[in-house]
Amino acid sequence: MNAFSRKSMGTRRVFPGVMVGILALGFCLPACSAQTSKDKAKTAGGDKVLAKVNGQPITEADVMKSGADAFAQIERQYEQSKRETLENQLQQAIQDRLVEVEAKAKGTTSAQLLADLKPAPVTDADIDAFYEQNKAQIPQPKERIAPQIKMYLERQREGETRQKFFSDLQAKYKVDMLLEPVRVDVAATGPAKGPQTAPVTIVEFSDFQCPFCSRLVPTLDEVQKKYGDKVRIVFRQFPLPMHPNAQKAAEAALCANEQGKFWELHDVMFKDQQALAVDQLKASAAKIAGLNAEQFNTCLDSGKHAADVKADQDAGTVAGVSGTPAMFVNGRFINGAVPLDQITKVIDEELSRSSNTASK
């Protein structure tokens, strides 16, 4: 494998919104994280004595039991990291093989083939256009930030050029992907958009008071517009303990769902996350056309759906959710308020798999 190929594969694409966030803030947080975990996974431990207090032993089994949540989380992270490494290395091997085949067909070398991939140069006009489009989020004058913008745009175009190159090669030569992605068994129960027959189901665990969850709302709206009946979106509750109004907001959403008004209240609550106290929830619900406010208020005050919220939380925790938003696309886990194309990439893969299965 040549150095150019490996270096390019090791660099993730940075999207404009992420780049601007880095320039403006220096960091990016994709999700609200839970402070505690209720993972019930069993962790094995031995009888080896690790310490003694006043002559009483503390065994490895004791420590593993008391730290079961932490050890289970480490295990999940390890397995996820291991799987991502396997998938990345497989993708690299596929691309290397495609380049070798194409180079042989053209009577050249792999290194030369990759060296010939030259994206269009970034002009001053490109830099100006990017800055004007994003200047509200860039707290620096254009003259000072222009070199960084140019570098970013160059890397972006290089990535796009390579992506198109390999996409064209995969279309030209047959690639059978036999490695199945890791899937988590998550029940698609709850308020939903899209037909039950959709080939792709997205189960979202969310918190109405989480700012990152609100950022995901327009992204999933774009997913619906793009894929229509090919995608079904299911909403499940995961209010986090650090958000004092999240629990009743989750209950309110299910009270509205009783009257077929879940998504209407869903949109209202995410639009104004500062108005989630019980009296504010009642006022918001009363403004929704066709919703019986008295019935809603009685439902919310009674705590009727508290157990349903708890059931969603438990299901999410078992599936490995520890923060919000969290999504499972046909069981494939995506954590945080990720960019649209990170979601569509998985959806496109799933639609392709569905199409290939149907054709066999």
**Cα distance between residue 150 and residue 122, in whole Å:** 7
Counting residues of the chain whose pLDDT is more than 70, the rounded percentage is 87
Q: Which two tokens stand for residue 230?
A: 């090919």
What are the tens digits of pLDDT across the range 8-42?
333 333 334 434 444 443 334 567 876 544 444 34
Smallest CA-to-CA distance from 250 within 297, 312, 325, 298 is with 312
Confidence at 46, pLDDT banded by 50, 70, 90: confident
18: CB partners within 8 A, 6+ apart: 28, 339
Q: Looking at residue 44, what is its pLDDT? A: 56
Quickly tell me which residue has 């069993």 as its tokens: 42
Kindly list the structural domains of the chain, giving each domain's residue range(s) and its CATH number in brackets, ordered by start.
3-29+71-172 (no CATH), 192-359 (3.40.30.10)
71: CB partners within 8 A, 6+ apart: 43, 64
What are the tens digits of pLDDT across the range 134-188?
888 888 898 999 999 999 999 999 999 999 999 999 989 988 888 888 899 999 9
What are the tens digits of pLDDT across the range 218-263?
999 999 999 999 999 999 999 999 999 999 999 999 999 999 999 9
Angle at 337 between CA 334 and CA 338, to 5 degrees: 65
Residue 1 has pLDDT above 90, yes or no: no
Could you tell me if 181 and 225 are in contact, meaning their C-beta atoms sit under 8 angstroms apart?
A: no
Cis peptide before 339 (omega within 30 of 0): no
With residues binned 3-state (H G I as helix, E B as strand, rest as coil), the percentages for the chain, rounded to 5, are 60, 10, 30
